[in-house]
Structure 1
Amino acid sequence: MTVRRLAPRTAGAAIAGAVVVLAVLASLAIGARAIDPLTLVDVILASAFEGAVLDATGLGAAEVDAIVIVELRIPRTLIGLAAGAALGLAGAVMQGVTRNPIADPGLLGVNAGASFAVVVAISMLGVVSPLGIATGALLGALLASVLIAIVAASTRSLTTPAVLVVAGAAVTAGLTSLTTLVLLSDPAALDRYRFWTVGSLTGRDLELATALLPLLLLGGILAALLARPLDALALGDDVARGLGFRLRSTRGLALASIVLLCGTATALAGPLVFVGLLAAHAARALVGTRHGILLPTSALVGAAALLVADSLGRVVAPPAEIEVGIVIAVLGAPLLIGLVRSAREAV
């Protein structure tokens, strides 16, 4: 019986992994300059085993293709993988800890906190470097999470799943208003901020992603530790307590994981919405509700979703590109509407 239950879950996870591979290949091949599969494979193998450094001056079409892949698309793809996996994993953790099927990492105010901190850094501190903006985004995500915890604690109902959601919505509304106020008073900051806030994988720094990788790994480890507690929480608070799990510790660990994952992803790619929502629901359809396999599958689906959205943005209006934040919002909005409608019909 156990084998029968495990087989569909393993198959679902394998499907998610295969989709990630296809999404990576599409991300490397699709763009204003289309690259055929054989050239793509040759360049990847040469880059991996020979480590050649290419110069575009006076080179033919094949060499230019290699430069496009190595210098532009591989960094873009790697950042998309990291940000998408982080947001997908955070979405699964958030839906599990709140028991809310429409919960998204942005709902806890993490994106709003990161955005407000970036605006303050640009407008008041004159920050323009990618590292400075990333640092501001991480600090803003952390401060927003602390503020949410304070608001939730003041209700004396931390064990109620809806408390964090309501507190996150309140903090998001307040920080969004403050962000708008700062931007309206500083047109120069608005001009710099608008390129970051739309959410994009272009022009991002791979060295910055490498520097932030430990934070992503820490967030992923914390999420992995939550697999059993989240399974227990799905049965209700009383059952979870009866099984020996500490609800405050579990929710605190979940909040830390969400902040690390979302804050780092936001620092890398800007505030992206609906990735966690899409990933968690697609993963649940593939592998079921057991968090031991749901969490890694959500990370895979999140990575694939972000890369697919980025690839679609390159082909919708060539030779121009539509930022991935816009594409993923267009894809996620119908899903959110459908989920709300289905929840209302269920009631």
Structure 2
Amino acid sequence: MEKREEREVVSVTDGMIESMPVFAKELVAGGVAGGFAKTVVAPLERVKILFQTRRADFHSIGLLGSFKKIANTEGILGFYRGNGASVARIVPYAALHYMMYEQYRRWIILGFPDIGRGPGLDLMAGSFSGGTAVLFTYPLDLVRTKLAYQVFEPSKLNIKRMPHAEQFYKGIFDCFKKIHKESGIRGLYRGVAPSLYGIFPYSGLKFYFYEEMKSYVPEKHKKDITVKLFCGSVAGLLGQTFTYPLDVVRRQMQVQRISASNSVEMKGTMQTLVTIVQNEGWKQLFSGLSINYLKVVPSVAIGFTVYDTMKLWLRVPSREDNTGKKALEGINPRSTSHHS
């Protein structure tokens, strides 16, 4: 009886998977990959944001001191402050990012049949997909940053006595509500310009380096998880290094309204960049980069690996079988070939 029920469950699952269009499978695979990877590196992400925005409080005590300070003042849950908003953002972001990467790749191939299918194609598709995903999910990134910026314990905080410049947010929805009330829709997109400037090269370079490195891997080793983890971590490392200063600019623009220490109004990307260099030195543009390396290596590596694994589990056809009009229309070809 139990075996029969198990077979029925497997049969229903197989039927659901087979009935899903290709783009839906890519959305699911990307969302799972993004959420899993982001949760793994959440503590490092929290410390990195504090390094970027609260320089005086955390630079002097270093990485281990910052971890100890958070643990003592906020407990273990303090390492995951803002992670709910982070995961809420990263799941749709990663889902759109990976799915649109595959779609842009197919559109480019169909629109320009003579174009090569090498890493250059991945550079273009990755750049466009990153920009698309940012535009749809940026408000959640802004909320995540503002929540992660808070380092006090709400239970011990007398909100009525809080200085006007230091805003307090109780949670995701409260943060959305107060930002919209103060600045409207534009407030929810504060700092989006450097995000777009940074995501186009970063996303493109990430996919470029990942596919380029995999092209040198012998065919018999391309399915090895260790190989995918290595290629993904190096790809994230190189891509992040070139675009990190724009990430610092974005964070400082995001927290400007709630930071009591900012006396200079920073309105644009270039003005913020110049202000940071003048007031804090060019090294501040790379503040938290060492932590980011520790975060990017597992995050990008896990993301690519989980994405490829989910595509295999969801039976997504290989890219060679998945570049035609049927794939673009969302029709799932019955193929036994899988993307490695």
**TM superposition score normalised by structure 1:** 0.29
- Of structures 1 and 2, the larger Rg is shown by 2
